[in-house]
Amino acid sequence: MRPGRTWAGSHTFGAERLARPRSVAEVQDLLATTERVRALGSRHSFTDIADTAGTLVSLDDLPREVLVDETARTVSVSAGTTYGQLAATLEEKGWALGAMASLPHIAVAGAVSTGTHGSGDGSRTLSAAVATLDVVGPDGTLRTLRRGEPDFAGSVVGLGALGVVTRLELDVEPSYLVSQTAYTGLTWTTLEEHFDDVTALGHSVSVFTSFDERELRQLWVKARADAPPVEAVIGTLPATRTLHMLDGAPEDAVTPQGGVPGPWLDRLPHFRTDVTPSRGAELQSEYLVPRDRALEALAGLRRTADAFRDLLQVCEIRTVAADDLWLSGAYGRDTVGLHFTWDLAIDEVREALAPMEEVLLPLGGRPHWGKVFRAGAAELAPLYPRFADFRTLRDRVDPDRRFGNGFLERTLGD
């Protein structure tokens, strides 16, 4: 089978072939007998991160499993399952996830491997919900890693560098209701003076801007029905119609707004499961800055916005709670994600990212692993306290670099 392209068409895979094993045993056989191999999720990353010179392994044909352990409050899920599929089954059984990304279309193992996150002062990355990981190593051996065990915190955000994940257990909680309200009228002054109040407005809060100096474009608040009512934000008004965060994009692509409570899975993601999320023809970048440097980062971006504004479809500002996963963007610190949806123009975007990284990397901004960035191993190493430990773990698990590719050579240094 031909390996094809990323979801956005931003990268054409150079792999020799695409394999679709039907069982974990077939994954083990494949890995034991294949020289160069990498796992492929739902292709929603924007770069060559998943690519290989050898065989790409899709887990789409593995039997789907979604099994809730009500006592442990975990769900066992097969790696290729999408969050949309997982969420629908959880909701049927009366259970929920604590966080979701902006889109439900992504595969669980792919999202977890890149530190994917949603928004919320108390919401950690999707990776931080992982309690157990089944991974097939380069010799075909299947290992189960559990939270608290020595290699676990290094392996969850693993970038596909440590093996093929076949099954995960994730933390779950009883199902809950969420209402979503979009507001307009938020100004930069209000955001800067009341940043903590704004991001605390709900379970999940997103601010959208195109770096227009007059006002921020939109504020979206997703509030749990079991939490106190949302306070009004100075100067803002609830939108009187459904808003898409992108100019001219169809409003029926986003999850219901208007403050009407509904199941968590129909409100936490921005985009509905049954439609194309975002724009489609686009690139994305994101930098995860320490929360206590976020206002400096925003001031720096406003100063340098002329260098990137013309390529920008929208920027989303969101928060992520700290975790302990070595390569997580939120490792060891509460974090603010500064996300950029760009026109699909790779050379121009890479050029625009140069001055942006000059502002954000010195503030501790860690690039999202699944999106477009320029920094290489020399710039990334100081941003992650456990970077050297991850390299050591990789040397032990995959000394022959059977899971190696160009992306890992650039970002990990070999």
- 349 belongs to the binding site for ligand FAD (CB under 6 A): no
**Cβ atoms < 10 Å from Cβ of 42:** 21
Q: What angle do CA 193, 197, 199 make, to 5 degrees?
A: 105
- Report the SS3 class of residue 317: strand
Query: Can residue 107 be called a binding residue for ligand FAD (CB under 6 A)?
Result: yes
Kindly indicate which of the ranges 34-42, 62-70, 342-350, 354-362 contains the residues binding ligand FAD, using the contact rule CB under 6 A.
34-42
Question: Is 116 near ligand FAD (CB under 6 A)?
Answer: yes
Cβ atoms of 4 and 13 within 8 Å: the answer is yes
Does the footprint of ligand FAD cover residue 31 (CB under 6 A)?
Answer: no
Q: Which stretch binds ligand FAD (CB under 6 A): 103-111, 229-237, 342-350, 384-392?
A: 103-111
Binder to ligand FAD among 42, 81, 190, 411 (CB under 6 A)?
42
Between CA 328 and CA 127 the distance in angstroms is 8
One residue of 101, 205, 223, 254 binding ligand FAD per CB under 6 A: 101
Asked if residue 43 lies in contact with residue 5, where contact means CB atoms within 8 angstroms, the answer is yes
Indicate whether 106 belongs to the interface with ligand FAD (CB under 6 A).
yes
Which CB, 100 or 297, lies closer to ligand FAD? 100
| Helix/strand number for the chain, H first, E second | 11, 19
Query: Least distance to ligand FAD from the beta carbon of 106, Å?
Result: 4
The angle subtended at Cα 386 by Cα 338 and Cα 401, nearest 5°, is 100
Contact indicator for 255, 267 with CB cutoff of 8 Å = yes
The minimum distance between CB 48 and ligand FAD, in angstroms, equals 9
Answer for which of 130, 165, 230, 359 binds ligand FAD (CB under 6 A) is 165
Q: Taking the complex as a whole, how short is the minimal distance between the CB of residue 234 and ligand FAD, in angstroms?
A: 27
Query: Of 104-112, 176-184, 258-266, 355-363, which part binds ligand FAD (CB under 6 A)?
Result: 104-112
List 271's β-bridge partners, or say none. 254
Start-to-end CA distance of the chain, whole Å, equals: 29
Cα(38)–Cα(56) distance, rounded to whole angstroms? 5
265 binds ligand FAD per the rule CB under 6 A: no
Question: In this structure, how many other beta carbons lie within 10 angstroms of the beta carbon of residue 271?
Answer: 20
Contacts of 315 (CB under 8 A, 6+ apart): 208, 209, 210, 211, 301, 338, 339, 340, 341
Q: Does 268 bind ligand FAD (CB under 6 A)?
A: no
| 7 touching ligand FAD, by CB under 6 A | yes
CB of 237 to ligand FAD, least distance (A): 26
Residue range at the interface with ligand FAD (CB under 6 A); choices 37-45, 208-216, 219-227, 351-359: 37-45
Distance, in Å, from the CA atom of 235 to the CA atom of 267, rounded to the nearest integer, reads 24
Residue with tokens 């994917």: 116
Quick check: 39 binds ligand FAD (CB under 6 A)? yes
For ligand FAD, the closer CB: 181 or 285: 285
Contacts with ligand FAD, residue ranges (CB under 6 A): 7-8, 38-45, 49-50, 59, 79, 101-103, 106-107, 109-111, 113-114, 116-118, 159-160, 164-165, 277-278, 284, 368, 370
